[in-house]
């Protein structure tokens, strides 16, 4: 089991829990909560696999993923009272998932031999699409369009990955740096309510 596998699994767990939390806040029934957990968790990677042509998509080839999602779902359901401060837990798991999926998306795009700009696009879509699907299905404003910087954090994370990778740093350093960049940008953005500058004149 490589470091990559471990991060992969942690990303799946984080997004599955974040999906379950949003769905329970919306008071969906047990099956609905599971569907949202599943879609949030595999949505970004499924889009990535379909666009690059790596079918059957990853979770059909590695069934462990489905059971990991089930486990995360039951964890979120049973500990929903402990996860009382839902908004904070949700933000935490969503942000960790975002960082880990940025790593995986970059890695897969790089291995497939794409141009750096395409690799960054793939990484950003892999990382942010699960949360977008979750929010569309739950009828919330997609995270990507909310005030605070979101997908932009993935773009910077993927750039750092490519930079360090080209400078010859080893895997562990690249992974730690990438996820730290994504998670830090996202936390700073939310804590200080940072958003991108706008084009529009304020009145």
9, 112, 176, 187: which one binds its own copies (CB under 8 A): 112
Q: Looking up tokens 């929010």, which residue turns up? A: 135
Closer residue to its own copies (CB): 24 or 103: 24
22, 151, 160, 182: which one binds its own copies (CB under 8 A): 151
- Distance separating alpha carbons of residues 126 and 131, to the nearest angstrom: 10
- Asked if 110 touches its own copies (CB under 8 A), the answer is no
Could you tell me the smallest distance in angstroms from the CB atom of residue 113 to its own copies?
Answer: 10
- Asked if 115 touches its own copies (CB under 8 A), the answer is yes
Closer residue to its own copies (CB): 69 or 104: 69
137, 174, 181, 185: which one binds its own copies (CB under 8 A): 137
Closer residue to its own copies (CB): 7 or 137: 137
Q: What is the residue-wise DSSP string for the chain?
A: --HHHHHHHHHHHHHHHHHHHHHHHTT--HHHHHHHHHHHHHHHHHHHHHHHT-PSPHHHH-THHHHHHHHHHHHHHHTTTTT-SHHHHHHHHHHHHHHHHHHHHHHHHHHTT--HHHHHHHHHHHHHHHHHHHHHHTTS--GGGSSS--HHHHHHHHHHHHHHHHTT--HHHHHHHHHHHHHHHHHHHHHTT-----SSPP-
Closer residue to its own copies (CB): 69 or 96: 69
Classified as helix, coil or strand, 3 is helix
Could you tell me the smallest distance in angstroms from the CB atom of residue 80 to its own copies?
Answer: 7
Closer residue to its own copies (CB): 61 or 173: 61
User: How many residues contact its own copies, by CB under 8 A?
Assistant: 45
Residues that bind its own copies (CB under 8 A): 24, 27-33, 35, 46, 50-53, 55-57, 59-60, 63, 66-67, 77, 80, 112, 114-115, 117-118, 121-122, 137, 142, 144-145, 147, 149, 151-152, 195-200
């Amino acid at each position: 089991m490589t470091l990559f596998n471990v991060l992969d699994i942690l990303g799946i767990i984080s997004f599955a829990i974040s999906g379950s939390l949003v769905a329970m806040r919306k008071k969906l029934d047990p099956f609905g909560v599971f569907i949202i957990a599943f879609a949030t968790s595999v949505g970004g990677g499924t889009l990535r696999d379909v666009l690059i042509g790596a079918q059957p998509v990853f979770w059909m080839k590695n069934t462990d993923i489905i059971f990991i999602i089930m486990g995360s779902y039951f964890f979120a359901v049973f500990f929903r009272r402990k996860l009382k401060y839902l908004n904070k837990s949700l933000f935490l798991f969503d942000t960790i998932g975002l960082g880990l999926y940025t790593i995986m998306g970059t890695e897969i795009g790089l291995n497939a031999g794409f141009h750096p700009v395409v690799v960054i696009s793939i990484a950003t879509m892999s990382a942010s699409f699960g949360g977008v699907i979750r929010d569309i299905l739950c009828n919330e404003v997609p995270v990507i369009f909310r005030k605070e910087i979101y997908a932009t954090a993935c773009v910077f994370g993927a750039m750092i990955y490519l930079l360090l990778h080209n400078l010859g740093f080893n895997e562990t350093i690249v992974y730690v740096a990438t996820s730290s960049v994504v998670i830090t940008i996202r936390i700073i953005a939310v804590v200080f309510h940072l958003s991108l500058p706008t084009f529009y004149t304020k009145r």
